[in-house]
Amino acid sequence: ARVIKEEIIRDLTEKKISTSWYDNRNNNIETISGKVVTVPNPLNITNLKNIDIYTKKLKNLRKQKAEWHKVYKQAIRPLETMKISLSDDKKQLNKYIKEERVGNIQPDAIDNSMVETIEANHTEVKSNITKLEPEVDKLYFTAFQLNRASDLLKSVEQQQLNKKVSQYLQGYSNKSKVEAYKSLPSSSGSNNRWSIPSKNVDTKDLLRAICRLETQNKSS
């Protein structure tokens, strides 16, 4: 109220508010030079902000109060019905605490037999680890040998077999050589020449012939 009073006195002193009552009927309210200009009170603005802040804090406190009340109903209120005055009542309290700790856990979950089974499995797995390491080493060495054997077979195929296969294929496909082969005489009255194939030679027959030649060359 004091602030409003001071503002009115200041406006009257600065002639922002007209005090003349003459020709009031002919003047429009919008054309009066001393029109009142209202501004919000700074104190009211501050109070409005404080109300908003404290309203949120009060809401948060009420929420915390509800949570504490819920915890109280679940854990503290049941203790009010218990009277710890005798030694027997302490047993009842210990029983209650034990039941609360166990909760809804099934008896099978804390059975000693299950713990013993888990420990036995752990011991067995731990002992098998020492046996597994040399087996893994053997497997790695076997894989290394297979890799080397594969490289060796590839080199033999590229350096030796490819040339011989090309020669044999060229000999079978060259008709002039076949005709020359027909004219060769047989030695000692027996036919030691290769028989001329009566059908097209496939890859399987060709590989068999190569294996036979290799065997004969090694035996000789």
Q: Which pLDDT score is estimated for 66?
A: 92
List, run by run, the mean pLDDT of 10-residue segments along the chain (220 residues): 79 73 52 62 89 94 92 78 62 73 58 76 83 85 87 76 71 58 54 57 76 75
Distance CA 208, CA 73 (A): 92
Residue 32 and residue 63 in one domain? no
Number of domain units in the chain = 2
Domain that residue 46 falls in: 41-103
Whether 188 is covered by a domain: the verdict is: no
Q: Which pLDDT score is estimated for 190?
A: 47
Residue 54 and residue 93 in one domain? yes
Residue 72 and residue 90 in one domain? yes
Whether 144 is covered by a domain: the verdict is: no
Q: Which pLDDT score is estimated for 50?
A: 93
Whether 31 is covered by a domain: the verdict is: yes
Q: Domain ends where: 87, 103, 119? A: 103
Whether 86 is covered by a domain: the verdict is: yes
Residue 48 and residue 83 in one domain? yes
Q: Which pLDDT score is estimated for 11?
A: 80
Residue 28 and residue 80 in one domain? no
Q: Domain ends where: 78, 103, 128? A: 103
Q: Domain ends where: 103, 128, 145? A: 103
